[in-house]
Structure 1
Amino acid sequence: MEPEKLLSLLDSVKNGEVSPEDALLRLKMEPFEDIGYAKVDHHRSLRHGIPEVIYGAGKTPEQIAGIITALKNHGNTNILVTRLTPEKADELHKLIAVDYDPVSRVAIHGRKFEAATKGYIAVVAAGTSDLPVSEEAAVTAEAFGNKVERLYDVGVAGLHRLLSRLDVLMTAKVVIAVAGMEGALATVVGGLVSCPVIAVPTSVGYGANFGGLSALLSMLNSCAGNVSVVNIDNGFGAGYLASLINHIGESER
């Protein structure tokens, strides 16, 4: 919103012509910044509590740097870029400073991790092959102000590994369960905890796994009532949703 229009709106609120609630609604509905190849939504954090995140796949390093710059100029920190290859991350870093994690494939500009909640998110991964998706979820959640506890390589083929960390599971505010193959981990975790469980099927598995479809269907058919499911390999979506849940009731949200 242009300064003149914003001042006019604020004057209307001051004079009692517009209610604060209506003014907030107008601000939430304000448009984006058009930079040609992208329309950057600067009011995403006002509506969602979380600023816009850049999906890196399919964008050039120059386009990503331009979007980061637009977000930075509006005071955003912890600007996330997901699904970056190491090669594209190297090219991006030549244009603008980013911290890149090759495991999660997430780059962050203006990195500033501060846990803003009392509760924590537990990210549970069935196997080492699930680490890229698990770390995408964990890094996303941390960037959005959450403490994260990682429990990796605790799949149902060796259930004692998971059961040895029940203290971490049972005191989490929300659990992200990441698994490929048959995806049984989510139901097992759901049966052990009282908090919400976000299941993430991965494309890890042999032929009958159908690129994660078998794990997805298993998780959708879970008999544990506290399990919900995001898309195949969608660690970012799981971390985002877990952050929203973990922040419920926190005064800063």
Structure 2
Amino acid sequence: MSECEGLTALVTGGASGIGRATAELLARRGARVAVLDLDPSTVGEPLTAHRADVTDDASVRAAVAAALGELGGLDILVNNAGIGARGTVESNSDAEWHHVFDVNVLGMVRTARACLPALRASAHAAVVNTCSVAATAGLPQRALYSATKGAVHALTLAMAADHVHEGIRVNCVNPGTVDTPWIGRLLDAADDPAAERAALEARQPTGRLVTAAEVAAAIAYLAGPLSGATTGTALAVDGGMQGLRPRTGTR
């Protein structure tokens, strides 16, 4: 597949998980791709990599400038960098609330702000934000994380409205529970990892976790020219978790 041939892309949080799968898929589809990450040491060709801390505006601007200097412009921004949080509204300190919002929401703002001048010069400009089913479905023990992803969902719609007349499309993907290193760490920390994995799988109608490759495919679609009529959309990649209510038994 070569629908991204000749395009350039920047992926934040691109050294692992969904971001890495997305960067590699865009490259396979013909794009030249740069990755921004706190630890880009594992990233190799055909990707290029730059260290960036999305909570630091100067770090973001420097990394974006370096990446765009290599790429020669920008057509696609994938705002994927993010962190998780567990607990009810009582569980997390003010400092943690501020930090998770700083990464998950303001990190996207800083990166988009740095990239917009280059995106305005593109004939195929697209921004894809990694959101979550947590933005639209009430999940237990995810108050802080859900609040940030609800903000990402709203931010996506507002950005789409602001930039549609500049030819910049803005969409987001809403994954369910994805089998990533972060989920692996959560499972490892559980009292009964096997039981916790079974519970996560059971709450998705498909009966399994979403793969990073499946989310990457959705992001690549929204980022590419074949979705040129799509903006202001949240694409669920959640195994039916948000919309389906299947029967769990038989008569």
The TM-score with structure 1 as length reference comes to 0.41
| Structure with bigger RCO (C-alpha 8 Å, 6+ apart) | 2
Normalising to structure 2: TM-score of the pair?
A: 0.41
- Structure ID, larger Rg: 1
